[in-house]
Structure 1
Amino acid sequence: MADVGGWSTIESDEGLFTSLIETLGVKDTQFEELISLDADTIRSLGPVYGVIFLFKWTRETNSARAEVPLDGTYDQTAPDNLFFAAQTIQNACGTQAILSVILNHDNPASPQPAITLGDELRSFKEFTTGFPPELRGEALSNSEAIRTAHNSFARASPFADETARPQDDEKGADVYHFIAYTPVNGTLYELDGLQPYPISHGECGSGEFPEKVIEVLQRRIARYPPEETHFNLMAVVRDPRERAREIGDVETLEREEREEGCVAVGEYVETA
């Protein structure tokens, strides 16, 4: 694991993550916080490209670099078009989890709309195609454009990156980690840069993602003691304004435009 290399921690916030990918040139995609673990909530946001999961990292509930994962199976022969990068730098796991979803849905085989990448991310993906995970991770860590975008949203965060202080869990400090779950090529993948390979959670056909990912998340959360509640879950979805335009839903479009305007005004007042 390399040192921090100028990467700062970022807060787990759906608005911040949306702004981050927009800074990198991604269009018509946003993040929505999920406040309940049920498939209907995820389905209501469709199309959903994946979810980002923030959790408390402990040695007892994780198997980083183990021979077998605690759930699912390592896919050591994952297809070349699956973007998976090892985490080689501290504080980058949030942005790495985001890219693990975004870069796997710019040209999906499923009927859902593709995510539109900006020039920077498109070039990065093309450059790293065929790289092994470690080399992809190094390329991500060394990307000036991605690091600059990441650091532009750095804030004081209650969540310490698990890779920044790997011994802290032994000293009683809380450390956290971001990972991604996303369907690619008909398989539900868990993409965790601290693992040696993508983790397969089995077949995941079109429309099955909400049920499948909830089952996996429930098993993962069950490994924690009942009093542990420090989890955060966000869905990566198509901008609802684009969905409304496509189906001619004027009411939803007007509501979303009003809400977007309120957010913009609030951000302006806050920084004035």
Structure 2
Amino acid sequence: MSGGWNTIESDAGVFTYLIEKLGVKDVQFEELITLEPDELKRLGKIYGVIFLFKYPTGETRSDTPKDGSFDHEAASNIFFAAQTIQNACGTQALLSVLLNKDGEVDIGKDLKEFKEFTGSFPPEFRGETLSNSDVIREVHNSFARSSPFIDETQRTATEDDDVYHFIAYTSINDTLYELDGLQPAPISHGPCTPSSFPDKIIPVLQRRIARYPATEIRFNLLACVQDQRIRARELGDAEALEEQEDKRSAWLWENALRRHNFVGFVGELMKGVTKAKLLQGEKVYEKWVEDAKGKTRKRIEDRRSKGIASDGVD
């Protein structure tokens, strides 16, 4: 098997540049803040949505899903891959949308060849082939946040960890499908044309979220849509085009920062600050340390007075 897959963030900029690096053209992701059909419709051409949620610990497969119905026949007629490796579900979810839209979207040479190669495979073999794809894995890992403390390729989740999972929803052959690699087959949520997708998907997502306690708010929803710059040019909206270009620049900067860890930089900075304080004399240094301790104690006392737990040092 190929090397490990690192964790990537559910972030519109990460997903947009990840698919561009895979060769997909004229597609981007947009984060959705509210579950309103109009918010989806204002984005123009929509290919699907990616939903991130906390996976219930101890949940097992069932012969019937909690919502919708399994479509075992569709598993061989559309692109559906079983998830066979940890941390790959984000990329697997976006591929579940795009590889089922290759008639509408230019998915690029590498993904087209991957889809053709796995076309006759059952879901389990598709999942294994995806997990062992060096091209897709290396692009995926290039967007992982750098960490000097944890080797994400070796670490496995424990029962005490919060485990999050990505799934895809899209309209295929005028049916709304939920594509979850941890399920035995695509889940059908009934008739749905591409134009009716915004109205059909929202109730499905609302029912999904309703399974959780009202206090659970750790969800994220990304829409896979046509590059918003294309729409802005078609409408002649110079302001919207400039806004989209600025957004792309910000995404590039954020993605560049993700590739670096700053522990060495912070360490050197602290050394420099400490050296400067020492050069000012022992009394100045001691006052600096005592001031820092005082601020820490005040923060702890303030948190305690508000009933917030703290692991601070007195």
Match of 1:131 in 2: 121
Q: 1:180 to 1:255 in 2, by over 3 A?
A: same
- SS for the counterpart of 2:195 is coil
- CA apart distance, 1:175: 1.0
| 2:64 aligns with one of 68, 75, 78 | 68
Answer yes or no: is 1:104 the counterpart of 2:100: yes
Match of 2:233 in 1: 245
Larger gyration radius, structure 1 or structure 2 = 2
Cα distance between partner residues in 1 of 2:243 and 2:52? 30
Q: 1:241 to 1:91 in 2, by over 3 A?
A: same
Contact 1:43 1:210 in 2 (8 A): yes
**Letter of the aligned partner of 1:238 in structure 2?**
Q
Q: Which runs of 5+ in 1 are unaligned?
A: 108-113
Cα distance between partner residues in 2 of 1:15 and 1:250? 21
Match of 1:175 in 2: 163
Q: Which runs of 5+ in 2 are unaligned?
A: 263-314
Match of 1:12 in 2: 10
TM-score by length of 2: 0.74
Answer yes or no: is 1:225 the counterpart of 2:213: yes
Answer yes or no: is 1:53 the counterpart of 2:66: no
Match of 1:147 in 2: 137
Cα distance between partner residues in 2 of 1:269 and 1:88? 30
Contact 1:5 1:89 in 2 (8 A): no
Give percent identity, aligned residues only: 59
- CA apart distance, 1:20: 0.6
Q: 1:83 to 1:151 in 2, by over 3 A?
A: same
Cα distance between partner residues in 2 of 1:141 and 1:268? 25
Match of 2:28 in 1: 30
Cα distance between partner residues in 1 of 2:230 and 2:218? 33
Q: What CA deviation, in whole Å up to 9, does each residue of 1:209-240 have, x standing for no partner?
A: 11111100100111101111110000001001
| 1:209 aligns with one of 178, 185, 197 | 197
- SS for the counterpart of 1:208 is helix
Contact 1:11 1:156 in 2 (8 A): no
Cα distance between partner residues in 2 of 1:253 and 1:239? 11
Contact 2:79 2:99 in 1 (8 A): yes
Contact 1:104 1:184 in 2 (8 A): yes
Q: Which has the higher contact order (CA 8 A, sep 6+)?
A: 1
- SS for the counterpart of 2:102 is coil
Match of 1:260 in 2: 248
Q: Which of 255-264 and 239-248 deviates more?
A: 255-264
Q: 1:175 to 1:265 in 2, by over 3 A?
A: closer
Cα distance between partner residues in 1 of 2:180 and 2:250? 35
- CA apart distance, 1:261: 4.0
- CA apart distance, 1:174: 1.4
- CA apart distance, 1:99: 0.4
Q: How many residues align?
A: 255
Match of 1:118 in 2: 108
- CA apart distance, 1:245: 2.9
**Letter of the aligned partner of 1:43 in structure 2?**
K
TM-score by length of 1: 0.85
Q: What CA deviation, in whole Å up to 9, does each residue of 1:226-269 have, x standing for no partner?
A: 11111000000100111233444444334423443455467678
**Letter of the aligned partner of 2:131 in structure 1?**
S
Contact 2:82 2:182 in 1 (8 A): yes
Cα distance between partner residues in 1 of 2:118 and 2:111? 11
Structure having the larger proportion of residues in helix: 2
Match of 2:185 in 1: 197
Q: What CA deviation, in whole Å up to 9, does each residue of 1:53-96 have, x standing for no partner?
A: 00011147x5x521111110000111754110000111111110
Cα distance between partner residues in 1 of 2:72 and 2:254? 47
Contact 1:91 1:164 in 2 (8 A): no
